[in-house]
Chain A
Amino acid sequence: MPRWGMVIDLDRCTGCGACVAACKVENNVQFVSAAESERGRRMHWLRLLVESTGTYPEAEIRIVPNLCVMCDNPPCTKVCPVHATYLGEDRLVAQIYPRCIGCRYCMAACPYSVKVFNWSDPRWSAETRSILNPDVSLRPKGVVEKCTFCHHRLQAAKEVARADQRPLREADYQPACVQICPADAMTFGDLDDEFSPVSQLRRSARAMRPQEHLGTEPKVYYLQRRDAHV
């Protein structure tokens, strides 16, 4: 069974934010009012972390897409009191919305701050509701949610493969963010497959994983920027 993982090449990433928008739409992540977002209640399964250092004009600004890194040894699933978040059969960290009691312990335990909480009920206007993605369930207030690597796409891909009577191929399944990226900065695939693009990339000298020292074994790799030699 493939071990799905992602490699994000920060040297290619332009920080355009297409992944952020794509993720939000694909997964029916709720929008919050201006007032709520002022109070830090904005919801993103994938967001850009921006670090700026230095002074004008040499200001160095690093933009890093931040999403669930799908730990193989997740600190969040350990602490869940009701088994509402767990390491699924696809080795993806999953959430069970109807079971979550909203204690937010998993959020406190996540070293990557990628889990988001529904502080209030989503307010979809009738029109907006009609264009929501039917493959992704809506979340009510009071539960925790997060990036699923677009798990619903994996499900569909499996079904298609089955209908086609062939094994699931790596190319069958891509999360929305990877697919949309206009700079091809994100690569997705099977980390266990010796020859898959991801496993080739992750062997690069530039590859690193966030908070690696914590032993969480993330499945999302970042390729550091190569600074030009002039």
Chain B
Amino acid sequence: MNTISRRHFIEVLAGAGVAVASGGWATDRLLAMVEEGTLRSPRLPGVQRWVPSLCRLCPAGCGIRVRLVDGLPVGLEGNRSDPVSAGGLCPAGLAGLQELVHPDRVRTPLRRDGPRGSGKWSVISWDEGLEEVAISLRILRSQGRPEAFGVLERGDSELTRRWLQRVMRAFGSPNLITASGPSSWRAAWAYAADRSLPPVADLANSDFILSFGHELFETDGHPVWQSKSWGRMRAPTAPPGVSVAYVGPRVSPSAIRADLRVAVRPGTEAALALGLVGILIMEDRVDRTFVDRWTTGFYSREEPRGPDRQGFESFVRRRYSPEDVSRITGASLDEIFRLARVLGSSQRPVAIVGRAPLSGEDGMATAMAIIALNLTLGAVGRPGGYVAASTPPLDFPEPVVPDAIARRGLSALRVDRPDPPPLSAVGQCPARLAANLLSGKPYRLEVLLIHGVNPVHAWPGAKAFEDALATVPLVVAVGPVVDETARWADLVFPEASFLETWQLLPPALGLPFEYVGVQQPAVEPLYESRSFEDMWFALARRVGEPVAGAVPSGTFAEWLPSAAAGLFHSGRGTIASGVNELRVADFMQTRGWRAPGPKTSEAFWEALRGAGSWLGGPPAERSPAQLLGASERGRFEFWPPRFERDASKQSGSSIPAAALYEGRSGRADGNGRAGAFAHAGDYPLRLLLFDTNTLWEGRTALTPLMLELSGFREDIAWDSWVEIHPETAHRNRISDGDRVRVESPAGALLVRARIAPIVPPDAVAMPRGLGHKHFGRFANGVGVNPLALLPATVDPWTGSAILGVQVRLASVRV
């Protein structure tokens, strides 16, 4: 029995609270109490501490505070002083601790026993494991074919990506493959603005957000920041009015909360966007000043490059009259007009697009159309419109100079390059990797390092990917658990959780202001796990010169302060210290004022760790000019000539300019797009995939909390479901809760039916993220994986997977 009375215990707790809350006089008293407590009994009552850090369960990276009692993590909450998430979190954020202590975490490096995928492992030491990889890498270099080393990475932390790039460059391989969402958006902007890094929407300052399937409150963009902004928009004191409109086929949770909701057929978002432009033109709501000054290709007069040498204006008016659009999209005329008028009458409207529409058959066209709409609205290069994504001034070593071997390697084609090649603006084609490895063109990989992605579960064509892995002699997987992909690896390295490791995180999704969050360990890494960065450094060192020279001598954690020094020396921004100070920062920035900060970079680092984030204030670049890259005519292109060239090159014959906005499959007719509806006969239903903020793409689906909340709005737990329109259900004699077979040309699934008027009669919707086979004891066998229904089809323009397929339902009699 310990001798400490409850009263005393409370005092300790209270003291701790104060120590944290005010850092006041109580601290010493607290320490004193702890002192005597320690002397008295080994079992001390809780002394609590808070560690500010970042949630890394999704790319957003919200600020969190981890609650430690006696050094053990027992709680996690939003960090109020984080200027982005401002103390808010999404449900997934709460799962962090459960992931930290997941019973099935990989504890040591593992080497495969028996055939691949057999799931038999033997424990090895880090040295053995790393040496094994290093040897084969050295051999590759000695053989002069460093390009045979590939890295497949999630790439949602900037610094890690840069270190990967740097080392790969020194090693001599172009094959750093980062799999982050569809590339159409990025590519489209690259053409329209001649700019590699796409701008981001300044949602917080816009008064009307038109969302094309962008799940504001679920999984697109930065959900928590968006929710916070929404919360401010809807403050009880704010005047009621339209602030958000949602366009999309499914009545998603974000659609529910939108003030205006326009249901369109799947894949017809582009048509609606063009239709809106048409009405804006008719009703003379176009931002003429912007269009005249900053764009080209809008009017027929100035050297037009449009179809039949027409300007964008007349192209739209001719091809996308409201009637046509209504017929194509299935939206009623007055819905379209209503939307257009709100759009036209708002001060700072902006149109954004989610991943779903961009992953459809004609992602490029959709992206182009929505960019065009924004240009027409002048929603580019102004507050509340599209502004430059932030690139905080973090210090990073100069790029290495590759040696001869490396240069040869770097000159090789990327291993994921489709044939024929995609549009030149497209860099990454992860979806092509499997096919290329199998065909051996352009060449095979000898070593493949996989980190943070689980293609066998999360990408279409799992089987193909498994076979592709079989062609690679050495596959190395780094992750917290042995997931479906790691199961096919030869070596598995245990990755430490984000609660055990360091990181400086500029927002991966881009935010309309400069911001860097500090992720710092709440606990020492459990078991033998290490951070991915440290593993990478260690590996580089083992490969030897010149690669070893590319990485610092110390650990990643030791290097970070020097990166942060960049923020200090930039002389800009402040260390975040309170909610909602974005406006303050803006105010001061615009006046060139600046809050007094630490004097030395060391002090700066300490302060930064204490607060959890650095706020650089509003984007440096807010004028259209600064958004334009080395554009040919210094204007935004409605008919980007490069796009046209690339597309023609790609398809082998010159393509009509209209295709830029209508896609390869041509203009949608009343029945939707030809490509998508190939099987319309025997597979009458369109399958819509969506993500929930508890499962994401399966990333968080390994904790009991998330699994139990998998369908918390549908009153479904520990299971997936398929959303069916009542009519469709009636036609197929399915009632709510039944098990139904969802069949596609690629496969079939048995899943629980959820009948609700939230999907169109000609479509069904399923959540991604469940149906794991190997993802820890909790997730295994829970629900189904809809990606099993998808054929591994790749968009030849963007090289990304097309997430769309036609299915049919068969009710199962039990």
Contact = CB atoms under 8 A, between A and B. Distances in A.
Q: Please say whether the chains A and B touch (CB closer than 8 A).
A: yes
A182 B88 contact: yes
A82 interface: no
B236 A223 contact: yes
A12 B757 contact: no
B240 A228 contact: yes
A17 B717 CA distance: 13
A127 B242 contact: no
Nearest to B70: A134
B103 A127 contact: yes
A23 B733 CA distance: 39
A61 B704 contact: no
A79 interface: no
Contacts of B91: 16-18, 20-22
Interface stretch (A29-37, A67-75, A140-148, A214-222): A29-37
B1 interface: no
Contact of B713 (A17, A33, A134, A185): A17
Contacts of A54: 757
A131 B231 contact: no
B680 interface: no
Contact of B100 (A24, A25, A131, A156): A131
Contact of B77 (A126, A156, A179): A179
Contact of A182 (B101, B223, B719): B223
A122 B46 CA distance: 24
A176 B75 CA distance: 11
B251 A56 contact: yes
B261 A131 contact: no
A31 B76 CA distance: 18
Interface stretch (A93-101, A104-112, A158-166): A158-166
A185 to B, nearest CB: 7
B75 A26 contact: yes
B418 interface: no
A134 B74 contact: yes
A100 B254 CA distance: 42
B549 interface: no
B410 interface: no
Interface in A188-216: 201, 204
A18 B73 CA distance: 20
Contact of A183 (B88, B92, B338): B88
Interface residues of B, number: 87
A52 to B, nearest CB: 6
Contact of B88 (A57, A131, A164, A181): A181
B97 interface: yes
Contacts of A185: 231
A16 B14 CA distance: 33
B578 interface: no
Interface string B12-41: 011101100110101000000000000000
A156 B13 contact: yes
Contacts of A230: 242, 259-260, 338, 342
Interface size class of A (residues with CB under 8 A): 35 or more
B760 A57 contact: yes
Contacts of B15: 163
A198 B712 CA distance: 28
B11 A163 contact: yes
A15 B261 contact: no
B227 A21 contact: no
A22 B95 CA distance: 9
A14 B718 CA distance: 23
Given A14-B227, A180-B88, A226 B74 contact: no
Residue of A55, A132, A163 contacting most chain B CB atoms (<10 Å): A163
B725 interface: yes
Contacts of B761: 56
Interface string A35-77: 0010000100001101010111101010100000000000000
A163 B14 contact: yes
A20 B712 contact: yes
A90 interface: no
Given A163-B26, A179-B77, A180-B77, A131 B218 contact: no
B713 A128 contact: no
A184 interface: yes
A48 B713 contact: yes
A226 to B, nearest CB: 4
Nearest to B262: A57
B74 A16 contact: no
A170 interface: no
A125 B14 contact: no
Contacts of B92: 21
A125 B89 contact: no
B358 interface: no
B708 interface: yes
Contacts of A120: none
A180 B89 contact: yes
A188 to B, nearest CB: 13
A208 B254 CA distance: 25
Given A24-B705, A26-B75, A131-B101, A183 B230 contact: yes
B10 interface: yes
Given A18-B91, A25-B94, A131-B74, A183 B260 contact: no
Nearest to A59: B757
Contacts of A24: 94, 705, 708-709
A133 interface: yes
B758 interface: yes
B758 A162 contact: no
Contact of B757 (A31, A32, A52, A176): A52
Contact of B708 (A22, A32, A183): A32
Contacts of A163: 11, 14-15, 17-18, 26
A228 B241 contact: yes
A42 B236 contact: no
A144 B236 CA distance: 36
B88 A34 contact: no
A183 B228 contact: yes
12 contacts: A15-B713, A34-B719, A37-B717, A47-B712, A52-B756, A56-B251, A128-B98, A159-B14, A160-B14, A162-B14, A223-B236, A230-B242
Interface of A: 9, 11-12, 14-18, 20-22, 24-26, 31-34, 37, 42, 47-48, 50, 52, 54-57, 59, 61, 63, 125-128, 130-134, 155-156, 159-160, 162-164, 176, 179-185, 201, 204, 223, 226-230
Q: Ordered nearest first, which 10 A-B pairs have the shortest CB separation?
A: A182-B88, A57-B263, A34-B718, A21-B91, A228-B259, A159-B14, A182-B227, A14-B217, A127-B101, A184-B231
